Structure 1
Amino acid sequence: MTKSFVFFFFSIVVVGWSQEKKSAVTTDDYFKILRETITGEKAYETTAFVSQYWRVVGNEGFNKSIFKVASELEAAGYVQETNATILDRFTYRIEKRSLQHPTWEPVSAEVSLVGSASPLLKQATNRNMVYLNSASTPSNGVVGEVVYIKDLGALKNSPVRGKIIYTDANRVSEIYKEGVLNNGALGMFSYNNPGYLKPEINTTSIQFRSLPYHPNNKWAIALSYEAKETLKSAMDKGTVRAKVNVATKLYPSEELTLVADVRGSETPGERLVFSAHVQEPGANDNASGVGAQLEMAITTAKLIASDAIDAYRSISFLWGDEIISTNRYIVEDEERAKSIKWGISLDMVGENTSITGGTFLIEKMPDPSAIWTRGEDQHSEWGGRVLRLEDMKPHYLNDFMIHNFKNQGEFANWVVKTNPYEGGSDHMPFLKADIPGLLLWHFTDQFYHTDNDTMDKVSQETLRNVSTAALASALTLVNGDSYTATAIIDLMKDAATNRLAAEFLLSERAVKKGASSEEEQQIIKAWTDWYIKTIDSTRDMANPGNTAIVEKAILSARSIIEMQSDSFISELKRK
């Protein structure tokens, strides 16, 4: 923790257990240890290994990534769960489940325009060109006339049997289903790269696309901006015929999920869960999350084994299929779900932002900034729907994590920002189950989901920063007690008063410009309620025999927040 975040009660010996603790006690302690231990090297090496594969659940690249991480865990002292004894604190298991549909992987592909001397696209340089779940063409390929289909309605007046559809429509899956599956087109070309990818600059980028699994699937090809422009230019001059050769594999397989556990020494039935998904073929998305989480797991075991730190509660590290594996981890075991106190998702955490254009972000649990997004709060280009008051998830995890990551940012000259809740990654299952959970990520990324999301866009230093701040925060929480709670309450009080002051100034300006005073008061009340409940949530860390100091700190902080809120609301009523 920072110097303002020190457990100021620690020097007072209240109960005997406080004298027995051998772990570090503040986040500053953990930062000091981890900054000397975490280098980002293992995270970077693992990211490079995983990123070489086009990964989807069950395919060879996905499975090799899981087994690679498992072998690294074992080398670091984690014992396979089936072989573990009661003395083994570090264990892992690989869960196996049958897949409903075959898995898929691309082998090779090439598209050329008949009469052209060079290919339009080839997988060797554009590995995202083939839609996931595409079938192979005959070994000698297919040749057909290319016809432009503007939208679904155009199919009614455009015979496509034996031809290749080209579309730049948004409802691509419907055009594929109607034109290819139902009306006999040979296959489909599509183009739809959003503006934040800067397609006119990154002209060879292709975002990966997918078809729903269907036993009669044919093939679909996603075009780069460069390929799209070449095709359109040719079509403007007359009839265009294209040759397409696609080789893919579809085969039965099983789904693998890797879970590593660090058993807590005092309260093993309570845990913090980190989650990083393996599927998606990019380096930053999400080989970087896989790598960062592995270095964190290895570092945790190393430091505990050497008695440098301890973990009183348990820590679990989960690698699997995005959202699905995390959701299953929660819903399949009711008792295990009750034990989860915090969930943290690592997704796109290794970016060299000078190249990608992205910023490191902490996506907050739902707070009023996801209802009233204004001031310094901004959604990413991903965007998010406007939430309601009943969607709020008040908890100290938001500001606690932001505080610690800002600490690392100041130390390492690293930019840390936040965004209101948007969803779309492994933090969603935690929140759905009313478990505090947030997302560590980067956005905007001009190479997001494209085949230019490669290792040259990954920064070892960023991986080091994320891993250090995430693990320092986790260790503080899993070793937390009543003193930790009082320190967090102090932090929440400061965060609340700063937020209310900022919101009041925004509301004051809004009223002067004609906004309703009553509506602006509602914003102040919403933030007040959120922070009051946030401070109340610190009770979950208090020791049963030492709750009085927590209750006293809660009452003091609430009084300050409510007094400030009442003052601001009174001012707005006079406007």
Structure 2
Amino acid sequence: MKIGGITLKVNGERTKALIEMISGFTRSRGSKSYRELVEKLIAHLRRIGVPSTSINIKEYACDGVTKYGNYTSTMVWEPIKAELWLKKPREQFITSFRNSPTALLFGSAATNGWAELQLVEYKGPGDYAGKAVLAKEDPVKVFKDAVVNGGAKALILSYMRGKCPEIGREPKTNPDVVNYLSIPNTLEDYNYRAFGFSISEKHFNFLKKLLGKNSVVVINAEVETKVMKGSIQVLEIDLTKKQNPYVLITAHLCHPSPGANDNASGSALALELAGIISKEKGFPPTKIALMPEFFGSTPYALEMKRESSMPFLTINLDMVGEDQKKTGSSLLLTETPPVLPKRYDFLLEYNLLKHMPRCDGIPIKRYYRLPYSAGSDHCPFTAMGVSSPFLGHLPDRYYHTDADSPDKVDCKELEWVGNSVLDSLLELISTNPKLDAYIKSKEVSEFVYYCENIRGKPGSRELFSSFLKAFEARKHGFDSLYSQNSFIHSRKKLIPNFEGSIGFDWYYALPEQLKKTLNLNVTSLAELITVSANIIGSRESTELLAEIYYGVPQKAVSGFIDFLVDNGYFMEGEF
């Protein structure tokens, strides 16, 4: 592939080999293993010709106390060994950290030797004092009910997030996989000295059956972990040569082994891109950053904001190498909300479609562009006003399990994504009339769609002003399609009481009835509200945007915002 005389090529096999290396590390944030991996990646970057002067390590507190926006940092957690056995009614091995690195709940405290505990089944809030609790529900909820309020010492969990029977992502079709699960692990949480294991569906059913047949079931467990205050590392490759504005490519490096697609794939592809960009001319100033998910990207973005050094564009790579046949996944471009510049979404999509693998001109891969969604490291940057399209794959039969291994990675998928990103970077600073026409056609059609749906409604005037910028209406001359008199001003302010992404703490206080009324991914809605409140600062505009963007009834959105205001996440006032 050549553009403007530059020869470019992402090597899928080379990138997959790096994924295999990364996936051998359990990459818990701040841990010795994470730091050893960072050193290996720095050595790799030097060997492929990235100048040492371009490689930086940023450090942020990981002490269980320090807050970054809405995120409280975790403690540094170092897993060493763990075993779980059945003691009564008979002796039988269940699982171990050696057998599956996802078997130990992230955040588990040490047992200081072997611990024998009676096993009981989780029945909601209650008295579990001194016991181990078998459960199949959200770990955070079970931790609060059984450990914090119920006095339990251990949790034995089998819980699969994001079930999707249509592609075979459900426990009954994956009875042997072990899910990657975490329990809360701030300094306050560690005071409970709780530990736990994630077990397969097969082992869960076995233990549940024993509980039904026996009056007393006892487990025997040994867990060795190190929990300490320390710091997390962000590996930054600065190829800007101190020029501005610049593009930032992000990928999270954390997760237990193997975590091949999630997210050794994004990290390895980002490093492959760094090697190419460092050698070739013609690219815009670019930084690449590998970090712990959320807990690294949030302080990193906040630091940039304080230093007035934010990128003008962030491209987030998270789960970018899926073998679609094996995982059941589709490649997704998660777009930027329409109150921020949309050109970059359409630029990436143009190149993804151009490079899509085909047979006789017919696409042989699944690809979709989705509305803005939460769940990765684009969120803090989007919340701070940076267009941050996110490339990844979902749903996936094996993500967040010990079966997310390198054999599920497709070299051609990595090349498809990687070369699309490279083309997009080059075309940020080059002229391509065909591409310009494509982007203009997308911008005008979406501009008209949104304007038609908001005009005559409270809050529409401020949205219209944002759409004029987001879709480059004045530049392309279609701003005259609508008169400002067609749109109505807002009356109420809506301002976040935090910086960056809203995070997830609020989720566990959200009433179940409100979740059902909203009937969508409420974490994405919360992030969209955050973006709108930061960019526009109007309640009516935010409610209207959510209604037309996600198709959620305005009354339901208003009830959700009331909840967030009542819980101190946002404040209101006269506009």
Fold shared per TM-score above 0.5 = yes
What is residue 232 of structure 1 aligned with on the other side?
Answer: 208
Q: How far did residue 358 of structure 1 move?
A: 0.8
Indicate whether 1:60 and 2:35 are aligned. Answer: no
Letter in 2 for 1:406: L
What is residue 145 of structure 1 aligned with on the other side?
Answer: 118
Q: Secondary structure in 1 aligned to 2:171? A: coil
Seen in structure 2, the aligned counterparts of structure 1 residues 365 and 215 have a Cα distance that, compared at 3 Å, is same
Q: 1:162 aligns with which of 118, 130, 137?
A: 130
Aligned equivalents of 2:101 and 2:33: distance in 1? Answer: 14
Seen in structure 2, the aligned counterparts of structure 1 residues 331 and 187 have a Cα distance that, compared at 3 Å, is closer
Deviations 1:507-552 (A, max 9, x none): xxxxxxxxxx988998xx9999887544428x9xxxxxxxxxxx5x
Structure 1, 181-190 or 278-287: larger mean CA deviation = 181-190
What is residue 81 of structure 2 aligned with on the other side?
Answer: 108
What is residue 86 of structure 1 aligned with on the other side?
Answer: none
Larger Rg: 1
Aligned equivalents of 1:532 and 1:186: distance in 2? Answer: 56
What is residue 320 of structure 1 aligned with on the other side?
Answer: 291
What is residue 312 of structure 2 aligned with on the other side?
Answer: 341
Q: Secondary structure in 1 aligned to 2:175? A: coil
Q: How far did residue 42 of structure 1 move?
A: 2.9
Aligned equivalents of 1:338 and 1:190: distance in 2? Answer: 43
Seen in structure 2, the aligned counterparts of structure 1 residues 165 and 490 have a Cα distance that, compared at 3 Å, is same
- Whether the 8 Å contact between 1:496 and 1:531 is mirrored in structure 2 is no
- Whether the 8 Å contact between 1:409 and 1:415 is mirrored in structure 2 is no
| Structure 1 segment 163-178 matched on structure 2, within 5 A | 163-170=131-138, 172-177=139-144
Q: Secondary structure in 1 aligned to 2:246? A: strand
Deviations 1:166-216 (A, max 9, x none): 22344x435434544565433121232243232101112222222222144
Letter in 1 for 2:353: K
Q: Secondary structure in 2 aligned to 1:206? A: coil
- Whether the 8 Å contact between 2:304 and 2:310 is mirrored in structure 1 is no
Q: 2:472 aligns with which of 536, 539, 544?
A: 536
Indicate whether 1:286 and 2:258 are aligned. Answer: no
Letter in 2 for 1:418: R
What is residue 418 of structure 1 aligned with on the other side?
Answer: 369
| Structure 1 segment 476-487 matched on structure 2, within 5 A | 476-477=427-428, 479-480=429-430, 483=431
What is residue 494 of structure 1 aligned with on the other side?
Answer: 441
| Structure 1 segment 302-313 matched on structure 2, within 5 A | 302=279, 304=280, 309-311=281-283, 313=284
What is residue 157 of structure 2 aligned with on the other side?
Answer: 190
Aligned equivalents of 2:254 and 2:372: distance in 1? Answer: 23
What is residue 557 of structure 2 aligned with on the other side?
Answer: none
Deviations 1:481-529 (A, max 9, x none): xx45x6654223322466689x79xxxxxxxxxxxx988998xx99998
Seen in structure 2, the aligned counterparts of structure 1 residues 203 and 247 have a Cα distance that, compared at 3 Å, is same
Aligned equivalents of 1:93 and 1:299: distance in 2? Answer: 18
Seen in structure 2, the aligned counterparts of structure 1 residues 335 and 135 have a Cα distance that, compared at 3 Å, is closer
Deviations 1:85-104 (A, max 9, x none): xxxxxx11112344314411
Seen in structure 2, the aligned counterparts of structure 1 residues 462 and 61 have a Cα distance that, compared at 3 Å, is farther
Task: Report the TM-score, using the length of structure 1 for normalisation.
Answer: 0.71
What is residue 99 of structure 1 aligned with on the other side?
Answer: 62
Identity fraction in percent = 23
Indicate whether 1:397 and 2:373 are aligned. Answer: no
Q: Which runs of 5+ in 2 are unaligned?
A: 65-74, 487-575
Letter in 2 for 1:242: I
- Whether the 8 Å contact between 2:105 and 2:180 is mirrored in structure 1 is yes
Seen in structure 2, the aligned counterparts of structure 1 residues 216 and 161 have a Cα distance that, compared at 3 Å, is closer
Aligned equivalents of 2:367 and 2:232: distance in 1? Answer: 35
Indicate whether 1:129 and 2:103 are aligned. Answer: yes
| Structure 1 segment 68-79 matched on structure 2, within 5 A | 68-79=40-51
Letter in 2 for 1:94: I
Q: How far did residue 562 of structure 1 move?
A: 7.0
Seen in structure 2, the aligned counterparts of structure 1 residues 433 and 124 have a Cα distance that, compared at 3 Å, is same
Aligned equivalents of 2:3 and 2:147: distance in 1? Answer: 62
- Whether the 8 Å contact between 2:332 and 2:394 is mirrored in structure 1 is yes
Q: How far did residue 399 of structure 1 move?
A: 1.2
Q: Secondary structure in 2 aligned to 1:270? A: coil
Q: Secondary structure in 2 aligned to 1:41? A: helix
Indicate whether 1:217 and 2:185 are aligned. Answer: no
- Whether the 8 Å contact between 1:492 and 1:531 is mirrored in structure 2 is no
Aligned equivalents of 1:328 and 1:249: distance in 2? Answer: 24
Letter in 1 for 2:206: T
Aligned equivalents of 1:181 and 1:498: distance in 2? Answer: 52
Aligned equivalents of 1:39 and 1:528: distance in 2? Answer: 44
Aligned equivalents of 1:493 and 1:95: distance in 2? Answer: 39
Seen in structure 2, the aligned counterparts of structure 1 residues 492 and 562 have a Cα distance that, compared at 3 Å, is farther
Structure 1, 119-128 or 273-282: larger mean CA deviation = 119-128
- Whether the 8 Å contact between 1:283 and 1:458 is mirrored in structure 2 is yes
Structure 1, 122-131 or 108-117: larger mean CA deviation = 108-117
Q: How far did residue 310 of structure 1 move?
A: 2.1
Q: How far did residue 287 of structure 1 move?
A: 0.8
Aligned equivalents of 1:518 and 1:407: distance in 2? Answer: 31
Letter in 1 for 2:83: E
What is residue 390 of structure 2 aligned with on the other side?
Answer: 439
Q: Which runs of 5+ in 1 are unaligned?
A: 2-22, 82-90, 368-391, 505-516, 540-550, 567-575
Letter in 2 for 1:225: E
Letter in 2 for 1:453: D
What is residue 330 of structure 1 aligned with on the other side?
Answer: 301
- Whether the 8 Å contact between 2:342 and 2:443 is mirrored in structure 1 is no
Seen in structure 2, the aligned counterparts of structure 1 residues 327 and 476 have a Cα distance that, compared at 3 Å, is farther
What is residue 248 of structure 2 aligned with on the other side?
Answer: 273
Q: Secondary structure in 2 aligned to 1:397? A: helix
Aligned equivalents of 2:214 and 2:21: distance in 1? Answer: 46
- Whether the 8 Å contact between 2:79 and 2:225 is mirrored in structure 1 is yes
Deviations 1:205-233 (A, max 9, x none): 22222222214422122222111111111
Q: How far did residue 76 of structure 1 move?
A: 2.6
Q: 1:204 aligns with which of 162, 172, 176?
A: 176
Deviations 1:280-314 (A, max 9, x none): 12111111111000000001122x2xxxx323x31
Letter in 1 for 2:133: I
- Whether the 8 Å contact between 2:340 and 2:469 is mirrored in structure 1 is no
Seen in structure 2, the aligned counterparts of structure 1 residues 338 and 251 have a Cα distance that, compared at 3 Å, is closer
Seen in structure 2, the aligned counterparts of structure 1 residues 475 and 177 have a Cα distance that, compared at 3 Å, is same
